[in-house]
Amino acid sequence: MKQKTDVPQGTLALMVLKTLEVLGPLHGYGIARRIEQISGDLLTVNQGTLYPVLLKLEQEGSIASEWGASENNRRARFYRLTRAGRKQLQAESRGWEQTAAIMGRFFALKAEDLP
Protein backbone atom coordinates (compact mmCIF):
# COMPACT_ATOMS: atom_id res chain seq x y z
CA MET A 1 0.00 0.00 0.00
CA LYS A 2 1.32 3.43 -0.94
CA GLN A 3 1.84 5.84 1.92
CA LYS A 4 -0.07 9.08 1.58
CA THR A 5 1.59 12.32 2.62
CA ASP A 6 0.31 15.72 3.64
CA VAL A 7 0.86 18.60 1.29
CA PRO A 8 3.87 20.65 2.40
CA GLN A 9 3.02 24.20 3.31
CA GLY A 10 2.91 26.47 0.31
CA THR A 11 3.21 23.83 -2.35
CA LEU A 12 -0.54 23.63 -2.92
CA ALA A 13 -0.50 27.20 -4.20
CA LEU A 14 2.28 26.34 -6.63
CA MET A 15 0.35 23.28 -7.85
CA VAL A 16 -2.70 25.45 -8.44
CA LEU A 17 -0.69 27.94 -10.48
CA LYS A 18 0.92 25.19 -12.56
CA THR A 19 -2.44 23.52 -13.17
CA LEU A 20 -3.94 26.77 -14.38
CA GLU A 21 -0.96 27.36 -16.64
CA VAL A 22 -1.29 23.95 -18.27
CA LEU A 23 -5.07 23.67 -18.51
CA GLY A 24 -6.16 27.30 -18.76
CA PRO A 25 -9.24 28.67 -16.93
CA LEU A 26 -10.69 26.06 -14.59
CA HIS A 27 -13.18 25.84 -11.74
CA GLY A 28 -12.24 24.72 -8.24
CA TYR A 29 -13.37 21.15 -8.71
CA GLY A 30 -11.34 20.83 -11.90
CA ILE A 31 -8.22 22.08 -10.16
CA ALA A 32 -8.73 19.65 -7.27
CA ARG A 33 -9.23 16.66 -9.63
CA ARG A 34 -6.20 17.60 -11.68
CA ILE A 35 -3.95 17.82 -8.62
CA GLU A 36 -5.18 14.41 -7.47
CA GLN A 37 -4.58 12.85 -10.88
CA ILE A 38 -1.08 14.24 -11.24
CA SER A 39 0.02 13.27 -7.77
CA GLY A 40 -1.22 9.74 -8.45
CA ASP A 41 -3.41 9.86 -5.32
CA LEU A 42 -0.28 10.14 -3.20
CA LEU A 43 -1.53 13.29 -1.56
CA THR A 44 -4.22 13.31 1.06
CA VAL A 45 -5.68 16.71 0.66
CA ASN A 46 -9.22 17.59 1.60
CA GLN A 47 -10.57 19.22 -1.50
CA GLY A 48 -11.98 21.96 0.72
CA THR A 49 -8.53 23.24 1.69
CA LEU A 50 -8.15 24.36 -1.91
CA TYR A 51 -10.58 27.26 -1.56
CA PRO A 52 -8.68 29.31 1.03
CA VAL A 53 -5.61 28.92 -1.17
CA LEU A 54 -7.56 30.11 -4.21
CA LEU A 55 -8.76 33.15 -2.26
CA LYS A 56 -5.23 33.95 -1.09
CA LEU A 57 -3.86 33.70 -4.62
CA GLU A 58 -6.65 35.91 -5.91
CA GLN A 59 -5.96 38.53 -3.23
CA GLU A 60 -2.29 38.48 -4.12
CA GLY A 61 -3.23 39.04 -7.74
CA SER A 62 -1.72 35.79 -9.04
CA ILE A 63 -5.08 34.55 -10.30
CA ALA A 64 -8.39 36.13 -11.24
CA SER A 65 -11.85 34.62 -11.21
CA GLU A 66 -15.26 35.13 -12.73
CA TRP A 67 -18.54 33.28 -12.96
CA GLY A 68 -19.06 31.03 -15.98
CA ALA A 69 -20.92 27.91 -17.03
CA SER A 70 -19.42 24.51 -16.24
CA GLU A 71 -19.46 21.49 -18.59
CA ASN A 72 -22.98 20.51 -17.55
CA ASN A 73 -24.21 24.08 -17.76
CA ARG A 74 -24.11 24.87 -14.09
CA ARG A 75 -22.90 28.19 -12.76
CA ALA A 76 -19.28 27.82 -11.66
CA ARG A 77 -16.47 30.12 -10.65
CA PHE A 78 -13.61 29.93 -13.14
CA TYR A 79 -10.06 30.78 -12.14
CA ARG A 80 -7.35 31.86 -14.55
CA LEU A 81 -3.68 32.77 -14.26
CA THR A 82 -2.79 36.47 -14.43
CA ARG A 83 0.44 37.88 -15.78
CA ALA A 84 1.75 38.38 -12.24
CA GLY A 85 0.81 34.77 -11.47
CA ARG A 86 2.73 33.53 -14.48
CA LYS A 87 5.82 35.41 -13.29
CA GLN A 88 5.43 34.07 -9.78
CA LEU A 89 5.07 30.53 -11.11
CA GLN A 90 8.27 30.83 -13.13
CA ALA A 91 10.22 32.14 -10.17
CA GLU A 92 8.91 29.54 -7.76
CA SER A 93 9.39 26.59 -10.13
CA ARG A 94 13.01 27.59 -10.59
CA GLY A 95 13.44 27.67 -6.81
CA TRP A 96 11.84 24.24 -6.45
CA GLU A 97 13.89 22.67 -9.20
CA GLN A 98 17.04 23.97 -7.60
CA THR A 99 16.07 22.66 -4.16
CA ALA A 100 15.08 19.29 -5.59
CA ALA A 101 18.35 19.02 -7.52
CA ILE A 102 20.43 19.82 -4.44
CA MET A 103 18.54 17.32 -2.28
CA GLY A 104 18.76 14.71 -5.06
CA ARG A 105 22.52 15.03 -5.12
CA PHE A 106 22.74 14.58 -1.37
CA PHE A 107 20.63 11.44 -1.44
CA ALA A 108 22.51 9.95 -4.39
CA LEU A 109 25.81 10.37 -2.59
CA LYS A 110 27.36 7.17 -1.26
CA ALA A 111 30.25 6.84 1.18
CA GLU A 112 32.63 5.52 -1.47
CA ASP A 113 31.99 8.55 -3.69
CA LEU A 114 33.61 10.84 -1.17
CA PRO A 115 37.20 11.72 -2.00
Partner 1 sequence: MRALRRFWNRLTWPRDDARLQAEIEEHLALQTEENIRAGLSPGEARRQAVLKFGGVEAMREGYRDQRGFPSLETFIQDTRYVLRRLRNAPAFTITTVLTLALGIGATTSIFTLVYAVLLKPLAVANPDELYRLGKEPRCYYLGGYTQDKGFSLVSYDLYKYLRHNTRGFSELAAFSAVEPLFGVRRAGQVDPAQSDPGEYVSGNYFATFGIHAYAGRTFTESDDRPTPHLLQR
Cβ–Cβ contacts within 10 Å for residue 65, how many? 16
Query: Which whole-number Å values give the CA distances from 89 to 25, 41, 48, 86, in the listed order?
Result: 16, 23, 22, 5
Query: Nearest 5 degrees, angle CA 103-CA 36-CA 70?
Result: 140
Picking from 3, 4, 33, the residue whose alpha carbon sits closest to that of residue 16 is 33
Count of residues near partner 1 by CB under 8 A = 19
Q: Does 96 bind partner 1 (CB under 8 A)?
A: no
CB of 92 to partner 1, least distance (A): 19
CB of 105 to partner 1, least distance (A): 36
Residues 13-42 that bind partner 1 (CB under 8 A): 27-29, 32
List of residues 6+ apart from 93 with CB closer than 8 A: 14, 18
Label the pairing between strands 63-69 and 75-81: antiparallel
Contact mark string toward partner 1, 49..88, x via CB under 8 A: x-xx--xx--x----------x-x-xxxx-----------
User: Judged by CB, which is closer to partner 1: 48, or 115?
Assistant: 48
Residues within the interface to partner 1 (CB under 8 A): 27-29, 32, 46-49, 51-52, 55-56, 59, 70, 72, 74-77
